Amino acid sequence: MKPLRTVAVVGTPNVGKSTLFNELTGLQQRVGNFPGVTVEPLIGTVSIGTDRVELIDLPGIYGLEATSEDEQLTSDVLRGKHASIARPDAVLLVMNARNPEKCLVLFSQIAELGLPMILAVTMVDSVKAAGGAFDDITLHHLLGVNIYPVVGSKGLGVGDLKHALVQGAWQAPLSVIDVTATLEQRFDWSHSVIGRVVVRGAEDTRSVFLDRVLLHPVWGTVTFILVMAFFFQSIFTWANPLMDMIDAGIGMLQSLVSDNISSPILRSFVMKGLIGGVGSVIVFLPQILILNVLVTLLEECGYLARAAFLVDRAMGLFGLQGRSFIPLLGSFACAIPGIMSARIIPSYRDRMATIMATPLMTCSARLPVYTLLIGAVIPASTIFGFISMQAAVMASLYVIGALSGLLIALGLKRTLFRGGVVPFLIEFPPYRLPSLKSVGITMVNRTKDFLKTAGTVILVFSIGLWILTELPRAQGTEQMSRVDAERAQIEQSYAADLGRTIQPVFAPLGFDWRLTLGVISSYAARETFISAMGQIYATDVSESDMPLRDVLHNQLPINVGLSVLAFYVYALQCVSTMAIMKRETGSWKWPALAFAITFVLAYGASFVVYRLF
Amino acid sequence: MTLIQTLPAGTSCIIISIDGDSAVARRVRELGLVPGTWCRVVRKAPFGGPIEVATAVSRLGIRPSDGLVIMVEEVLQADAVAA
């Protein structure tokens, strides 16, 4: 059924627009899929009985003249100039009662478009709690549109607003100021209106006090480090039990398949190609979700803007800005949510440079590979009597990865994304308690989004990889034990042919055909290296009755082991990351470039390490 | 008249002009730092990092550079209160 009307939800950043959108539409949301749009706006539905209104959540703006891609979208849609998104029938403007001046300046500009409008005012409760007052009736007379006070985080007033959206009287706003008015004149007008309708309460002493601590050169830095430590710790410790559960679920599904499908080739396809391939990515869902919850909470409560302020100077050394640290930090868990969170960087050049650096941050898929290889080739001795050699190598791999990523960003900012220094500019929102419901809804939507990617692009790649490793079927494996049969299969597959053919390329790095095969199979997902090594060395493991680590210890000289590690520090071996990069940048050009840069670095680093040790 | 980043933390001033990259300068004005506005340098991040500027309308973290030149006139605290 066709909606009664489409309403654009518009507001300045930090007014609580997303929270209100989530409260209004709940789970009735989808990512708008418009051709040629990299910033995908959310579409939600509000219905009362059989009447339905469609809401489109447009990126926050301060005015109709855009400075970023996101803002351009909002401005184009509102003006009816967008190529694929139809002009909305009306506008729901969100205004913050604690900070209304900028919202009214935006109102004065949107009013000129002539679209019918409703004004939702958030945080009226907070103004009243501070002893102030807000006169919505006078504001209604001054602006000519209906005003609805709401408390987004508590859901108060949301019901009335829903009724208004679906059944209410929509009014075109009054022409409040001359079209040619300057920003200065608009602010003067805004101040005069605010003076008549808002009585400010007491100053927000809580925010002032918190800032005195959280932005303090010493205490602020200490807090920042503690928050980041907590951030990391929780991503890894909370996610682990969930990841184990998903892993176990995938295993159960696979054994169910193995018991019920008799055709070996079909069984292998379903077990490894479908369930195994997609499963190895879905395992990271808990980390992705926890990371997203934490970033959203930090953002909603107002800390993120402060953190960006604190690290801006350090990021500036690498040509980046304060906001870049969020995507980079997230990428230590997984580059996928990291790249998605790069949307918070308004400058195109800074965003691109940041995205290109994310794959170098040591993601959790590298961790099992590092653990296996370090355990195999680095002696379990100590330096200076107390620092574990293995831990030191592990830590240095993290540092080398991060530094290299930042240097790549710096290099790109000096070349491809060259341009004047984009001045850092961020607004500090007042501290507030985040709405848990809104955070929850965001999570559900992120999950759907991620599963959709896993179900499409990643599925295609994992089927491709299955064809390489499982075809053609090895002959004469019926009498063999399962382990031998799997080994025979992998040795006779296209991938093994590929491994042997490509091996000369990797020979200068010290890789034999087996390591080459392991490295190639990692291109589906890095942790595949371990299962591939497990299959390739399966006979050695069963004959010697030693764990894979010890078998590798005997098979790999230290320089080869370090050479493989160096390769994993740099190489972009993750099709999912590349798929997300493509989606966020709108072109395969960028993932291809990232792949090329990291491959050259990986090859170079491995070569040097192999020769050096 | 002086560059805003040269003022010590705690100083009040009046914005005289905003120049530099046109998009950035407009954004700063959209955030409420229009010429004639009173504002205060609240604090400065160490090592030449960004500064925090408060107006009646916004609190902003800003790193002035070649792309963003904000000229201000320092005012005495008493005048600012009167204004």
Task: Give all domains of chain A, ordered by start, each with its CATH number.
Answer: 5-202 (3.40.50.300)
Helix and strand counts by DSSP (H, E) for chain B: 2, 6
d(CA A120, CA A157): 9
Query: What one-character-per-residue DSSP string does A558-579 give?
Result: HHHHHHHHHHHHH----HHHHH
**Which chain A residue has the Cα nearest residue B65?**
A423
Contacts of A106 (CB under 8 A, 6+ apart): A10, A11, A12, A61, A62, A63, A93
Q: What's the structural domain count of chain B? A: 1
The answer to whether residue A423 neighbours chain B at the CB level (below 8 Å) is yes
- Within 13 Å and on the Cβ side, how many CA atoms surround A354? 30
Q: What is the domain range of residue B10? A: 2-82
d(CA B72, CA A227): 36
CA dist B69 to A270, A350, B51, Å?
62, 20, 13
Parallel/antiparallel/unpaired status of strands A5-11 and A90-96: parallel
pLDDT in tens, B53-82: 998 878 899 987 777 889 999 987 655 554
Per-residue pLDDT band at B83 (split at 50, 70, 90):
very low
pTM (two decimals): 0.79
- A182: distance to nearest CA of chain B, Å? 10
Closest CA to A331 of A520, A523, A605, A581: A581
- A65: distance to nearest CA of chain B, Å? 9
pLDDT confidence of residue B51: 92
Contacts of B32 in chain A (CB under 8 A): 101-102, 187
Contact A187 B34 (CB under 8 A): yes
Cβ-count burial of A180 within 10 angstroms (0-12 exposed, 13-18 middle, 19+ buried)?
A: exposed
The answer to whether residue A215 neighbours chain B at the CB level (below 8 Å) is yes
The answer to whether residue A78 neighbours chain B at the CB level (below 8 Å) is no
Angle at A584 between CA A583 and CA A586, to 5 degrees: 65
Query: What one-character-per-residue DSSP string does A417-448 give?
Result: T-SSPPPPEEE-PPP-PPPHHHHHHHHHHHHH
In this structure, is the dihedral angle defined by the CA atoms of residues A554, A560, A561 and A564, taken in order, positive or negative?
A: negative
Which residues of chain A, if any, have pLDDT below 50? none
d(CA A120, CA A235): 36
- B45: distance to nearest CA of chain A, Å? 7
Q: A26: alpha, beta or left, given left = phi > 0 and alpha = psi -120 to 50?
A: left
Closest CA to A585 of A278, A414, A354: A354
Cβ-count burial of A195 within 10 angstroms (0-12 exposed, 13-18 middle, 19+ buried)?
A: exposed
Contacts of A99 (CB under 8 A, 6+ apart): A14, A15, A430, B57, B58
CA dist A133 to A126, A136, A202, Å?
10, 10, 11
Contact A424 B36 (CB under 8 A): no
The answer to whether residue A285 neighbours chain B at the CB level (below 8 Å) is no
Contact A102 B29 (CB under 8 A): no
CA dist A373 to A14, A119, A127, A549, Å?
46, 60, 59, 7
The answer to whether residue A410 neighbours chain B at the CB level (below 8 Å) is no
Contact A425 B60 (CB under 8 A): yes
In this structure, is the dihedral angle defined by the CA atoms of residues A114, A117, A123 and A127, taken in order, positive or negative?
A: positive
Contacts of B49 in chain A (CB under 8 A): 309, 312-313, 316
Residue type, A113: L
pLDDT confidence of residue A332: 80
Parallel/antiparallel/unpaired status of strands A5-11 and A51-57: parallel
**Which chain B residue has the Cα nearest residue A97?**
B57
Closest CA to A305 of A481, A424, A412, A133: A424
- pLDDT exceeds 90 at position B16: yes
Report whether B13 contacts B35 (CB < 8 A): no
Contact A424 B50 (CB under 8 A): yes
ipTM of the complex: 0.89
d(CA A393, CA A430): 43
CATH code of residue B35: 2.30.30.90
Q: Which of residues 4-63 of B touch A (CB under 8 A)?
A: 20-21, 23-24, 26-32, 34-37, 42-43, 45-50, 52, 56-63
The answer to whether residue B83 neighbours chain A at the CB level (below 8 Å) is no
Contact B31 A427 (CB under 8 A): yes
Report whether A41 contacts A71 (CB < 8 A): no
Query: What interhelical angle do A158-167 and A17-25 show, nearest 10?
Result: 70
Angle at A326 between CA A321 and CA A247, to 5 degrees: 155
